[in-house]
C-alpha cells in the first residue's frame, strides 16, 4: 500500500470513529446532565422557589405518584412530601457536577423524571452519578427503568460527593425507549442524580477488592461519552 492510500485509509477510519463517538455523545436524548436548566418562576406556589418544570428540566417529564407536574421547586427540599427538585447555584447543597443536578424525594408517593429517546447503536451500558440522601438524610432505593423493565444497578466507583453507577442496557441498543429515574415510596427516600450517559463499555460485576480498579477503567470509558457542559 502506498503512502497516499494509507493516509486516506487512516483519515477514513478517524472519521468513522468520530461519527461513532458523536452518536454516543448525543443520541436523541437531551439534557442528560441537567445543564440546560433556565429556571423561570411559575408565578404560583411557594415563591420564589417554585419554577416551571419545562424551564427547570427541559426534555424531561416530571411525575409525582404518576401525575405529571408543571412546576417544581428549586433549592427548596421538602420536609417529607414527595417532590422532584432542581439543585442549583445558591442552594443548601451543591450540584454533583456543574451547576445543576436533580433531587428525587420519594415518601408516600414515587417521584420520577422520564424521557423518551434513541439509545445509540452499540450501547452496552448506562452510566450516571448519584448520591443517596440529602443533607445526610434519607434512605431507600433508586429505581431506573428502560420502558417497563427495571435495571440492575451496579456501583462502579465512589467519589467524595457521589457514586458512579452502571447498568447493562445492551438489549435496547439502537431502540427508542423511555428512560425513567424514580425515588420509590416508603419512608424518606432521597436521591440526587447527574451526568447520565450511554457507553459502549460493558459493566463488569465488581467485588469489593476490584471496585477501585473497575472504577478507574469505567471512568476512562465514561468521560469521552459524557455530555459536555455548556459554558456559562
Over 80: is that where the pLDDT of 201 sits?
A: yes
Locate cell 445558591: which residue?
90
Arithmetic mean of pLDDT, 68-90: 93
| More confident of the two residues 219 and 61 | 61
- Mean pLDDT computed over every residue of the chain: 81
Domain borders along the chain are: 3-225
Q: Output the pLDDT for position 27.
A: 54
Asked whether the beta carbons of 86 and 72 are under 8 A apart, the reply is yes
Neighbours of 179 (CB within 10 A): 24
| More confident of the two residues 226 and 171 | 171
Asked whether the beta carbons of 191 and 112 are under 8 A apart, the reply is no
Over 60: is that where the pLDDT of 162 sits?
A: yes
Arithmetic mean of pLDDT, 77-92: 91
List Cβ neighbours of 122 (8 Å cut-off, separation of 6 or more): 20, 23, 24, 173, 174, 200
- Taking every pair of Cα atoms in the chain, the longest distance, rounded to a whole number of angstroms, is 71
Q: What is the DSSP letter of 58?
A: T
Asked whether the beta carbons of 24 and 199 are under 8 A apart, the reply is yes
Arithmetic mean of pLDDT, 30-45: 91
- 185 class by beta-carbon count within 10 Å (0-12 exposed, 13-18 middle, 19+ buried): middle
Locate cell 425513567: which residue?
180
Neighbours of 112 (CB within 10 A): 25
The pLDDT tens digits for 94-118 are 999 999 999 999 988 999 999 999 9
Q: Output the pLDDT for position 7.
A: 43
| CATH class entry, domain 3-225 | mainly beta
Asked whether the beta carbons of 198 and 120 are under 8 A apart, the reply is yes
Distance (Å, whole) CA 88 – CA 96:
10
| More confident of the two residues 206 and 173 | 173
Q: What is the DSSP letter of 66?
A: T
List Cβ neighbours of 9 (8 Å cut-off, separation of 6 or more): 1
Report the predicted TM-score, pTM, of the whole model to 2 decimal places. 0.78
- 208 class by beta-carbon count within 10 Å (0-12 exposed, 13-18 middle, 19+ buried): exposed
Q: pLDDT-based confidence at 203, cuts 50/70/90?
A: confident
Closest to 29 in 3D by CA, of 117, 143, 121: 117
Arithmetic mean of pLDDT, 117-122: 96
Over 60: is that where the pLDDT of 47 sits?
A: no
Closest to 74 in 3D by CA, of 96, 97, 102: 102
Asked whether the beta carbons of 42 and 51 are under 8 A apart, the reply is yes
Q: Output the pLDDT for position 48.
A: 62
Amino acid at each position: 500500500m502506498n503512502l497516499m492510500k494509507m493516509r486516506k485509509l487512516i483519515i477514513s477510519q478517524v472519521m468513522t470513529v468520530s461519527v461513532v463517538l458523536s452518536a454516543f455523545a448525543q443520541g436523541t436524548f437531551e439534557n442528560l446532565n441537567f445543564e440546560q436548566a433556565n429556571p423561570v418562576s411559575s408565578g404560583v406556589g411557594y415563591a420564589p422557589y417554585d419554577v416551571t418544570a419545562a424551564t427547570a428540566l427541559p426534555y424531561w417529564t416530571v411525575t409525582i405518584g404518576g401525575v405529571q407536574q408543571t412546576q417544581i421547586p428549586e433549592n427548596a427540599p421538602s420536609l417529607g412530601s414527595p417532590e422532584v427538585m432542581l439543585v442549583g447555584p445558591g442552594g443548601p447543597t451543591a450540584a454533583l457536577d456543574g451547576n445543576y443536578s436533580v433531587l428525587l424525594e420519594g415518601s408516600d408517593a414515587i417521584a420520577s423524571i422520564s424521557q423518551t429517546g434513541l439509545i445509540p447503536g452499540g450501547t452496552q451500558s448506562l452510566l450516571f452519578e448519584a448520591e443517596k440522601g440529602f443533607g445526610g438524610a434519607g434512605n431507600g432505593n433508586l429505581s431506573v427503568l428502560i420502558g417497563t423493565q427495571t435495571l440492575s444497578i451496579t456501583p462502579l466507583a465512589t467519589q467524595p460527593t457521589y457514586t458512579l453507577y452502571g447498568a447493562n442496557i445492551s438489549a435496547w441498543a439502537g431502540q427508542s425507549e423511555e428512560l425513567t429515574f424514580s425515588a420509590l415510596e416508603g419512608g424518606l427516600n432521597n436521591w440526587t442524580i447527574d451526568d447520565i450517559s450511554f457507553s459502549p463499555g460493558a459493566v463488569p460485576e465488581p467485588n469489593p477488592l476490584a471496585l477501585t480498579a473497575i472504577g478507574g477503567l469505567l471512568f476512562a470509558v465514561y468521560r469521552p461519552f459524557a455530555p459536555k457542559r455548556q459554558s456559562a
